[in-house]
Amino acid sequence: MKINWFPGHMKKTMAEIKSKLVNIDVVIYLLDSRAPISSINPSLSKLSQNKPVLYVFNKVDIADEKRVEEIAKDYKSENSDYIIMNSTLSGGAKLMKQKILALAKDKIEKFLKKGIKTVIRAIVIGVPNSGKSTLVNNLCGKAKAVTGNRAGVTKMTQWVSIGDNIEICDTPGTLYPNLEDQEIAKKLLFVGSIKDEVVADTVELAQELISQIREKYPSLLQNRYGEDLTLEGIAKKRGFILGKGEYDIERSANAVIDDFRKCRIGKITLD
């Protein structure tokens, strides 16, 4: 099973991000809390170097918050900070604006000495389906960006004002041209950052997902599916039966993937 997905608009987006970073004060790096480390795109990280970065660990409501907090601590430095949040809730918007302004304090102070209240420009980057447009809408307090629970919804960059002299540039989700690390690719597929259509064999994918969850959260799997964690066992428990009494393994595989994405198995972080 070889996983790779880099549609044409992503190449265009990478070029746009590179050109915009010249005039950007703060980079907002959105990570999916179910696979935060795998959400780091080396190509984006390289482009954003030397810029203050705010790492946003999003979707914490469907992830292992304790594990996310452990990971997030490594992303705080003199030139970076982090916030753990659920971008569908409004509570984090105020704190996030405060962190953006704190990271841009050198520019703010420089212009204040001249009697000027400057505009801080930030850009939101991240892998597909990490919740960038939802976050932008949250910060705006209204729906200005198109959202959707699937990869590839946002197709172009767009600027919006979020008050407090802050302007945000929302960008389409981007991966890297060659996903050499297939373990990372699998995790991105699990959380929906890569389109399902890229992989024909959902059975193999579901088996790999079960294996990874069993390694860290065995009790969650057992609570959901019982002792037999094979796809056949899950099909038997769910009553997924084809004609002639055969078990519907493919339906079982799709159910496991969907259960993980919708947090029916439990709050899980796969790093």
Q: Looking at residue 226, what is its pLDDT?
A: 95
Nearest to 133 by CA among 28, 60, 262, 1: 28
* pLDDT for 149 beyond 80: no
Pure H helices in the chain: 8-20, 42-47, 65-72, 92-103, 105-112, 132-140, 182-190, 202-216, 218-225, 231-238, 249-261
pLDDT for residue 151 is more than 70: no
As a whole number, mean pLDDT of residues 101-126 equals: 93
* pLDDT tens column, 169-196: 888 888 766 677 888 889 999 999 988 8
Helix (H, G, I), strand (E, B) or coil at 136: helix
Give the span between the Cα atoms of 179 and 182, in whole angstroms: 6
Q: Give the DSSP per-residue string, 168-198.
A: EEE------S----HHHHHHHHHTTSS-GGG
Query: What is the pLDDT at residue 261?
Result: 96
Average pLDDT for residues 116-123, to the nearest whole number? 92
Q: Mean pLDDT throughout 106-114?
A: 93
Residues 184-238: tens digit of each pLDDT: 889 999 999 988 888 878 999 999 999 999 999 999 999 999 999 999 999 999 9
Q: What is the pLDDT of residues 2-56, one digit of tens each?
A: 776 555 567 787 888 888 888 899 999 999 999 999 999 877 787 787 899 999 9
What confidence score (pLDDT) does residue 154 get?
46
State both tokens at 149: 């629970």
In degrees, to the nearest 5, what angle opens at C-alpha 149 toward C-alphas 163 and 209? 130
Q: Partners of 126 in the beta sheet? A: 30
Q: Which residues pair with 167 in a beta bridge?
A: 121, 161
Residue indicated by tokens 């447009």: 133
What single DSSP character describes residue 243?
Answer: G
Looking at residue 176, its pLDDT comes to 66
Q: Is the pLDDT of residue 148 over 60?
A: no
- 114-124: string of b/e by CB count within 10 Å (b at 16+)? eeeeeebbbbb
Sheet harboring 166-170: ordered strands across?
A: 80-84, 53-58, 26-32, 120-126, 166-170, 158-161
Q: Is the dihedral of CA 197, 198, 201, 207 positive or negative?
A: negative
pLDDT at 147 over 60: no
**Do 184 and 200 meet the contact criterion of CB atoms below 8 Å apart?**
no
Residue range 100-128: mean pLDDT, rounded = 92
pTM: 0.89
What tokens were used for 244?
A: 């002639």
Q: Are 232 and 162 spatial neighbours (Cβ–Cβ below 8 Å)?
A: no
